[in-house]
Amino acid sequence: MIADILPELAWTPRTVAGRPVAVLPKSYARGGVSPGTLRFSERTIRQVAAERGPRMSAFGMCCKALVRETWLRHVRRIDFRTATNDKACAAYEAMTVAEFADINRKQAWANWRTIPRNLSDRMPATPIRAVDLCCGIGESTAVLACYAPRGSQILGLEYNRRFVDDARRARYTTIDGAPAAVTFRAQSVLDEFRDARGSRIASSSIDLINACGAVGCHFAPADALRLARECARVLKPDGLALLDSGYDGLDAAALDEIFTTHGFTIVGRAVSCPLDRRAQLCLQRSAL
């Protein structure tokens, strides 16, 4: 019981950039009374994360990531920790898929916790259209596929073609094991969003946008402005954007400022564990 409550304390929305976030009280969420939305209990989130997320211990994961990052930096001369987006994309391009999987494992572990915490009591119970920005090899996409209602359509956008090829090879299923409809496209998310066939995504047609380990790591304010404009274009009124904040790229205050000017309001935030200081923000596009 305590184990169930403790993590909630860590991710209950409070303030972002010193301002209270506009959220439904969690008691509301616990009652499961939001009409038309799905609620994921902390117990479910932990169980699903244990079954579908990385199996390694936190210690093992951190050690492996540290060793791999040191190797990349000093032997292969690849430094992916940069908020200059071109440099970040070039660094990922220089890695093998196996190297990327090693350095991304902590992110993959966190995704199985932050995404459902942000979606709980906000995810519509009916099929949705979702876009996973900077989806890498599909590890964040797998979480969206798992938690989205059956019949949903998920599109992963990723700059690196090899990562996209790898993501396409994976099998994506819903929480109850049904096949999920997931497609991918290789493109920069700083360009207008297109679907797997290359058609421009229609305005006001998307319910959910997600980004993990990207905006907070590899985007400067000017990039985030472009992203905010495109997110505002494609999202339906009241649609949600779950966006990671960080240190190298944009922190929560900067994201808040940029997205607020494009009609978004922060309605929640989620962290993977109490030690995680890089919250994934949940922003809602205002109804027109």
Ligand X SMILES: C[S@@+](CC[C@H](N)C(=O)[O-])C[C@H]1O[C@@H](n2cnc3c(N)ncnc32)[C@H](O)[C@@H]1O
Q: Which positions touch ligand X (CB under 6 A)?
A: 85, 88-89, 92, 104, 107-108, 111, 134-136, 139-140, 157-160, 163, 188-190, 212-214, 218
* Nearest distance in Å: CB 112, ligand X: 10
Q: How far apart are CA 41 and CA 121, in angstroms?
A: 10
* Nearest distance in Å: CB 91, ligand X: 8
Which residue's structure tokens are 């994309």? 89
* Nearest distance in Å: CB 248, ligand X: 11
Closer residue to ligand X (CB): 23 or 232: 232
Q: How many CA atoms lie within 13 A of 240 on its CB side?
A: 25
At residue 237, the 3 state secondary structure works out as strand
Closer residue to ligand X (CB): 128 or 243: 243
Closer residue to ligand X (CB): 120 or 141: 141
Q: How far apart are CA 77 and CA 75, in angstroms?
A: 6
Closer residue to ligand X (CB): 163 or 184: 163
Report the residue number whose CB is nearest to ligand X: 136
Residue 174 token pair:
């819903």
Q: How far apart are CA 139 and CA 159, in angstroms?
A: 15
* Nearest distance in Å: CB 29, ligand X: 24
Closer residue to ligand X (CB): 129 or 278: 278
Residue 50 token pair:
């244990």
For the chain, how many helices (H) and strands (E)? 11, 11
* Nearest distance in Å: CB 35, ligand X: 31
Alpha-carbon distances, residue 269 vs 22, 265, 278 (angstroms): 10, 12, 10
